[in-house]
Homo-oligomer: A and B are copies of this chain.
Amino acid sequence: MSTLLLDINAVNNLMNMPDVINVVEEAFRMWGEGKANMPAKAYLLVEHGDFRAMPAALPGCAGMKWVNTHPQNPSRNLPTVMAIMIYNDPETGYPRAIIDGTRITAYRTGAAAAIASKYLARRDSHTIGIVGAGCQAYTQILAHAELFALSSINAFDISKAAVDRLISSLPEFSIRNCSVQEAVASDIVCTLTPSRNPIIKKEWVIAGTHINAVGADAAGKEELDPSILKEAIVVVDDLRQASTGGEINVPIKEGIYTIDEVYGTLSELVVGKKKGRTDNKAISVFDSTGIAIEDIAVAKLLFEKAQQMGGYPSIDLIGT
């Protein structure tokens, strides 16, 4: 027995957005059908950052992502967030692969938002607004391009250089540098910032818009004026995580918004327990916090592809 080692290059070779979208949607479906198991994340705080253990099991796979957030890392030329996944055989517990999880996180987050857009955005959506042109912007665009006929992408960042990098990295897309208000005037808006104050004003949001609120992933973070949530159809990935660290966490804490106002979960949309968009004039919001079943579904995809293709290094770590 041995454990495959899939580093970032291997992950880049094996990763493919259409497949990621399929397995992530399937993960939400299985979760909605009661076939997934996902305990609460375990948080470990250290002086300059934190770590999270994100375990999950789906039929045929189990494992865990171990991911850090160290905000001072860029000054040391290291990424703020780094992740490693351990992918196990659920039948025996044997660790079948150790996988760089950084790229998995980016792809599955883009895929989950695009899946939410599939159910919540207008079918004829063809413009995307990007607020925050960091690494999440790339996978949001790639994922939405699989499900929508995108004509143009309106991108804003406080750093114009970030938008320029996005434009030159994705020459196949029509991306333009614009103001935050112009970005918000798109059919689908993806907010991807670490903001701790609302940056999207209610009056900028046009009737019929769908917003993927991806940035807020910890207590105290928020990107949208809470009055947007009050009027919108709000769907979350995980109610527990969203209410403590997602877009709705600050409005809930401040008593402006209640959990009861949440329309439903992405799983409920995927299994058909709740309807997606029915009104072309409604505003919808997907509150994405990122959940472990998304990661494990992508780890399974990569592991199975790597096994099929062969040639990746492995180690007999356990000595069985």
Interfacial residues, chain A to chain B (CB-CB below 8 A): 1, 5, 7-9, 37, 39-49, 51, 53, 55-57, 62, 64, 66, 68-70, 73, 76-79, 82, 84, 86, 88, 90-95, 98, 100, 102, 313, 315-320
Contact of A93 among B62, B69, B93 (CB under 8 A): B69
Assuming the contacts A64-B66, A82-B93, A86-B84, asked whether A317 and B7 have C-beta atoms less than 8 A apart, the reply is yes
Assuming the contacts A41-B42, A64-B53, A76-B92, asked whether A82 and B318 have C-beta atoms less than 8 A apart, the reply is yes
**Nearest-Cβ distance from residue A106 to partner chain B, whole angstroms:** 13
* B residues in contact with A64, CB < 8 Å: 44, 51, 53, 66
Q: List 20 A-B contacts (CB under 8 A).
A: A5-B315, A7-B316, A8-B316, A9-B319, A37-B44, A39-B42, A42-B55, A44-B55, A47-B90, A48-B92, A51-B62, A53-B53, A53-B55, A64-B66, A70-B91, A82-B93, A82-B95, A84-B98, A84-B317, A313-B315
The 8 lowest CB-CB distance pairs between A and B, nearest first, are A68-B93, A8-B319, A53-B53, A44-B55, A42-B42, A46-B90, A70-B93, A7-B317
Q: Which residue of chain B has its CB nearest to the CB of A3?
A: B84
* B residues in contact with A43, CB < 8 Å: 39
**Nearest-Cβ distance from residue A299 to partner chain B, whole angstroms:** 13
* B residues in contact with A9, CB < 8 Å: 319
Q: How far is the CA of A40 from the CA of B40 in the complex (A)?
A: 11
**Nearest-Cβ distance from residue A16 to partner chain B, whole angstroms:** 18
- Please determine whether A57 and B82 come into contact, CB atoms closer than 8 angstroms: no
- Please determine whether A51 and B88 come into contact, CB atoms closer than 8 angstroms: yes
- Please determine whether A78 and B46 come into contact, CB atoms closer than 8 angstroms: no
Contact of A62 among B8, B44, B84, B92 (CB under 8 A): B44
